[in-house]
Structure 1
Amino acid sequence: MNWMLLAPIILYFVFIVGIGVYSYRFTDSREGFHLGGRKMSSWVTAISYAFSGMSAFVLIGFVGMVYTMGPSSFYTLIGYNLGFAFSYLFIAKRIRNYSEIVGAYTYTDYFVKRVRGNAHIIRAISALSIVVFMSAYVGSQLAAGGMTIETVFGVSPLVAIIIAGIVVTFYCLFGGFAGVSLTDYFQGILVVIGTAILGIYMIIHAGGWSEVVAQVAASDASLTTASMGAGGSTLFGMIFGFLTLGVAIIGRPHDTIRFFAISSSSEIKKSFAITLTALSITYWGAFLVGYSGRVIFPAIENPEYIFPIALVELTHPLFAGFMISVFLGLLMSTADSQLLSAGSTFAEDIYKKYIDKNASDKRIVMVTRLFIVIVGILSTVVAITNTTSIFWITVYASAGLAATFAPVLVISLYWDRLTNAGVVSGMLSGFITVVVWKSIAPEISWIMTEALPAIFISAIVTIVVSLLTKQPHIERIRYELDRAKKTWA
């Protein structure tokens, strides 16, 4: 075992577990455990929001896509940036304010309190979607970690996945939302810096940008343009498909909950600017890694292995260890957020409402931690048994979460007529559409993923059913909507 390679990783793990233990002091209440007391700064919110959402996709899935598609891969990132921009411009301020107005600690609790109807089905659908899709999502992150550790250390993927699952689950148990957000913040900073350094280093190693472009053109001229040699309807279909990937990041619970916790809605604009800056730097770094990787490793069997192979073969062990820490931080920044979201949903929306209505804050926090362990185990099983590409399982899981929640979330922040029946119908139709679309139309995912048709259907169903039913608290809701749209200092 190369200790120069391993030492930075061990130190990093000790550091993030230490953050989790430090953050334990924020978890003495339900609001403290689930939202960090609504005291997160714009910087922490921005970085944790960005990198709880990007996951292992950047250095595994996207790098492999760049290797295969060249500049055409950037349509995907444009789509994602549009999704992030939409979330900040149309959701962030209002959900921050409205969640505090109704006293919602969890995502599901917000919907229940917003429509003031029969909450049972909302809680059931929400819990089902979160457990199903987040288990798959977290599993994809752990699988990506296993790929990297297997390549770098020659360790069995099974052992690597189990280790990653234990570490992520451990600091979620202690730190709650504050611990997750703080670790996401430090991990995100490392991702931005580390990815940029590796990308620039690989371009220099390959002979400079002009040499990289020349060699890529010699092997496949279509990889020097953003069209891949396509034209007409084929090109349009490709661009449309990749741009629409961005809708799948809107309204996902583990991302959106960050907006609940920011210290003030007046911090939203600053947070937005930080998020897009951090993501843009990371995107370009990852692009340079994938593009130069095509020149440096022209015969690689699986392009998704470019990142770990480049570390092993091109860099000093200390730098490689640092970069592995960056990558593990990236995948864990998503996994920890999803574990916490799943645990909070079960404890607040199932246990307290149906099992022990008089449960103390201390017991609720304990139950949250127990369910985090359960979902962590399920996710580890998914990671061990998964054979699907990291990119596509991430896209599918994101689509499921977005289709269940995004349409009803946006409508709830702007329309006073939204009813309990509308939310139930919208969530259920979105969830079912994603599952059915995957079954009946898997071959056209590159033109239209599950997210777009599912979100469209969910929105239509939500509006139609709400128009056919009655919202008995409409005057109160109009007052709340008016308060929520203002900027709170």
Structure 2
Amino acid sequence: MGTNTIWFLLAFAAYLLMMLGIGAFYMKKNKDADDYFLGGRGLSGWVAALSAQASDMSGWLLMGLPGSIYALGTGQAWIAVGLFIGTVMNWICISGRLRRYTIRANNSVTFPEYLENRFHDKKKVLLLISSIVIVIFFLVYTASALAAGGKLFASVFGMDYTLALTIGAAVILAYTFMGGFMAVCTTDFIQGTLMLVGLLIVPILAYAVMGGENLMANLEASNVPGGVDGYLNMFSNGERPYSAVEIISQLGWGLGYCGMPHILTRFMAVKNEKELKKSRVIAIVWVAISLGMAVVIGVIGRAYLFPMLLGEGAVSTENVFIEMITQLFTKDLSLAFVGGIFLCGILAAIMSTADSQLLITASSASKDIYQGVINPKASDKKVLTISRVTVIVVAILAYIIALDPNSSIMGLVSNAWAGLGAAFGPTVVLSLFWKRTNMAGAVAGIISGGLTVLIWDYIPLMGGQTLGTATGLYSLVVGFAVSLALIVIVSLCTKAPDEEMIKAFEDVASGNVTE
């Protein structure tokens, strides 16, 4: 093992031990399920903002997006534009009203519980359906994050993939199991800060070392697709122009935000409205800088690493950030540990998503399905125990799914994001802003949105091709539209909400809710 690798390993070990320490600290503070799943609604503005955004972006921000920009050019940034718009709208339009409504709706602790209380679902149909959707899609989502962590360890240390996957999964499981929501949010806050620092410093250093005057020449020499002009043109996709369908599909990723339970629970957990307003500004600034710098990394990485060209053989373009850090911080042994810390930024992006998904899946299985449907009389202590057992079970299942090193991480993320966004997004929006929405409409929206994504992505209906492959249109766009339409139609065709439900809606809309 080389000296640089040893320093990298020491940095990773220090980082992982710190995460475990945070989990142990918060384990003592979790007295009941409310503490474990929502932190007693005690999140500060900074922690809420950075934990929400860090848990959202995952390894895609530091690997997937820079890699696609590196390979094909700035036209790949349309997803980033869509995600930025979605983030802004989610924080401005959804966060405050959702937080108030969860308090007004019998102090709901989980997202499915909010839907149950919002629509007075005494038969627990919404609770069960939404919990099942979360467990299915988040199980796959968690597996994709664990797989990304395994590939990072394997790439940096030359470690066997299975061993690397085991180490990463064990650490995430440990601090999530021990500390619950506050441990997850605190670690996500640290991870979000580390991601931002790495995104800012690494491309600036690479640009300075390379010499800004060499940027265009190196891009040209590296034979970027479409030439330098095409490569830097957002309306070019490699060597051809972008189609309207492609741009709409990439922008459509932003629709998913209002249906992501791991982000929505951060809104529910913020301490008060004042802290929420602070979170809103911090989160929007963080995501603007992070997405912008991830695009910059792809462009500068292409020029800085030249004549090395990624993507040939076993070397993937998604390793551009890893290669930049390695090149910048291994020439001087005194900087190797710093390079290891920046590599931890990639691990942070992966872990901050996996832990949140693991906790949300466990909360749906234990509190919503077990306590909500199977054993309504279960004590908080029993639910907390079941929750921790569920965290272990879910982690093991996700680990098994992730054992295949050739699994498509981006494909899994894309489908899970579409499924959750289409199933829950329209339901959340209309539950907050249209008082005529009723339980029948919400059920129709969740089922139709999720099914549309599954049919669009998995069932070959056009000459052996799926509708997604044949049309090139992202399933989230279609599923969101179908779900939205059915919620409106079914709500109008069935019994209107009762007076109590209308009163709750008007209280939330007017801000007449006690914090």
> What TM-score do the two structures reach when normalised by structure 1?
0.94
Q: What is the CA–CA distance in structure 2 between the aligned matches of 1:204 and 1:380, rounded to whole Å?
A: 41
* DSSP 3-state at the match of 1:385: coil
2:219 alignment partner AA = V
Backbone CA RMSD of aligned residues: 2.0
Q: What is the CA–CA distance in structure 2 between the aligned matches of 1:471 and 1:178, rounded to whole Å?
A: 39
Shift of residue 248 of structure 1? 2.1
1:306 and 2:320 matched: yes
What whole-Å deviation, never above 9, does each CA across 1:172-212 have from its counterpart, x for those lacking one? 1111111111110111011101121112122233332x422
* DSSP 3-state at the match of 2:433: coil
Q: What is the CA–CA distance in structure 1 between the aligned matches of 2:408 and 2:218, rounded to whole Å?
A: 27
> Of residues 83, 87, 91 in structure 1, which corresponds to 2:90?
87
Q: What is the CA–CA distance in structure 2 between the aligned matches of 1:214 and 1:481, rounded to whole Å?
A: 60
> Of residues 408, 431, 438 in structure 1, which corresponds to 2:427?
408
Question: Which position in structure 2 is the counterpart of 1:65?
Answer: 68
Shift of residue 214 of structure 1? 3.0
Q: What is the CA–CA distance in structure 2 between the aligned matches of 1:386 and 1:98, rounded to whole Å?
A: 42
Q: What is the CA–CA distance in structure 2 between the aligned matches of 1:433 and 1:372, rounded to whole Å?
A: 29
Question: Which position in structure 2 is the counterpart of 1:481?
Answer: 505
Q: What is the CA–CA distance in structure 2 between the aligned matches of 1:69 and 1:100, rounded to whole Å?
A: 46
> Of residues 164, 171, 176 in structure 2, which corresponds to 1:172?
176
1:410 alignment partner AA = V
Counterpart contact for 1:26–1:36, Cα < 8 Å: no
What whole-Å deviation, never above 9, does each CA across 1:200-229 have from its counterpart, x for those lacking one? 122233332x42233224423211222227
2:398 alignment partner AA = S
Q: 1:459 to 1:230 in 2, by over 3 A?
A: same
Counterpart contact for 1:152–1:309, Cα < 8 Å: no
Alignment of 1:196-207 (within 5 A): 196-207=200-211
Q: What is the CA–CA distance in structure 2 between the aligned matches of 1:419 and 1:478, rounded to whole Å?
A: 10
Alignment of 1:40-439 (within 5 A): 40-102=43-105, 103-208=107-212, 210-218=213-221, 219-220=223-224, 221=227, 222-228=230-236, 234-295=242-303, 296=305, 297-301=308-312, 302-316=316-330, 317-385=336-404, 387-439=406-458
Shift of residue 234 of structure 1? 4.2
Q: What is the CA–CA distance in structure 1 between the aligned matches of 2:506 and 2:61, rounded to whole Å?
A: 39
1:448 alignment partner AA = L
Shift of residue 472 of structure 1? 4.9
Q: What is the CA–CA distance in structure 2 between the aligned matches of 1:343 and 1:95, rounded to whole Å?
A: 22
Counterpart contact for 1:180–1:337, Cα < 8 Å: yes
Counterpart contact for 2:67–2:317, Cα < 8 Å: yes
Q: What is the CA–CA distance in structure 2 between the aligned matches of 1:206 and 1:250, rounded to whole Å?
A: 41
Which is worse superposed, 212-221 or 76-85? 212-221
Shift of residue 118 of structure 1? 4.4
1:81 alignment partner AA = F
Shift of residue 377 of structure 1? 1.0
Which is worse superposed, 64-73 or 49-58? 64-73
1:300 alignment partner AA = G
Q: 1:66 to 1:119 in 2, by over 3 A?
A: farther
Question: Which position in structure 1 is the counterpart of 2:467?
Answer: 441
Q: 1:60 to 1:229 in 2, by over 3 A?
A: closer
Q: What is the CA–CA distance in structure 1 between the aligned matches of 2:427 and 2:302, rounded to whole Å?
A: 43
Question: Which position in structure 1 is the counterpart of 2:462?
Answer: none
* DSSP 3-state at the match of 2:60: helix
Counterpart contact for 1:115–1:471, Cα < 8 Å: no
2:431 alignment partner AA = S
Q: What is the CA–CA distance in structure 2 between the aligned matches of 1:26 and 1:416, rounded to whole Å?
A: 38
Which is worse superposed, 288-297 or 52-61? 288-297
Q: What is the CA–CA distance in structure 2 between the aligned matches of 1:32 and 1:450, rounded to whole Å?
A: 36
Q: 1:308 to 1:410 in 2, by over 3 A?
A: same
Counterpart contact for 1:87–1:251, Cα < 8 Å: no
What whole-Å deviation, never above 9, does each CA across 1:355-389 have from its counterpart, x for those lacking one? 32221111111111111111111111222126343
What whole-Å deviation, never above 9, does each CA across 1:330-367 have from its counterpart, x for those lacking one? 11111111111111111111111233222111111111
Q: 1:333 to 1:71 in 2, by over 3 A?
A: same
Shift of residue 230 of structure 1? 8.4
Q: 1:288 to 1:271 in 2, by over 3 A?
A: same
Which is worse superposed, 451-460 or 291-300? 291-300
Task: List runs of 5+ in structure 1 lacking aligned partners.
Answer: none
Identity %: 30
Counterpart contact for 1:248–1:395, Cα < 8 Å: no
Counterpart contact for 1:421–1:469, Cα < 8 Å: yes
Counterpart contact for 2:73–2:238, Cα < 8 Å: no
Counterpart contact for 1:19–1:175, Cα < 8 Å: yes
Alignment of 1:463-482 (within 5 A): 463-473=488-498, 475-482=499-506
Q: What is the CA–CA distance in structure 2 between the aligned matches of 1:293 and 1:444, rounded to whole Å?
A: 33
Q: 1:106 to 1:386 in 2, by over 3 A?
A: farther
Shift of residue 237 of structure 1? 3.1
1:156 alignment partner AA = D
Shift of residue 417 of structure 1? 2.1
2:368 alignment partner AA = D
Counterpart contact for 1:202–1:288, Cα < 8 Å: no
Superposed structure 1 runs of 4+ greater than 4 Å apart = 229-234, 486-489
What whole-Å deviation, never above 9, does each CA across 1:381-417 have from its counterpart, x for those lacking one? 2221263433332121111111111111111112222
Alignment of 1:28-43 (within 5 A): 28-43=31-46
Q: What is the CA–CA distance in structure 1 between the aligned matches of 2:398 and 2:474, rounded to whole Å?
A: 23
What whole-Å deviation, never above 9, does each CA across 1:449-483 have from its counterpart, x for those lacking one? 1111101101111111111221452x222222222
Q: What is the CA–CA distance in structure 1 between the aligned matches of 2:87 and 2:323, rounded to whole Å?
A: 31
Shift of residue 125 of structure 1? 2.0
What whole-Å deviation, never above 9, does each CA across 1:292-328 have from its counterpart, x for those lacking one? 2223132432211222233334323212210221111
1:421 alignment partner AA = A
Q: 1:310 to 1:444 in 2, by over 3 A?
A: farther
1:11 and 2:14 matched: yes
2:283 alignment partner AA = T
Counterpart contact for 2:7–2:340, Cα < 8 Å: yes
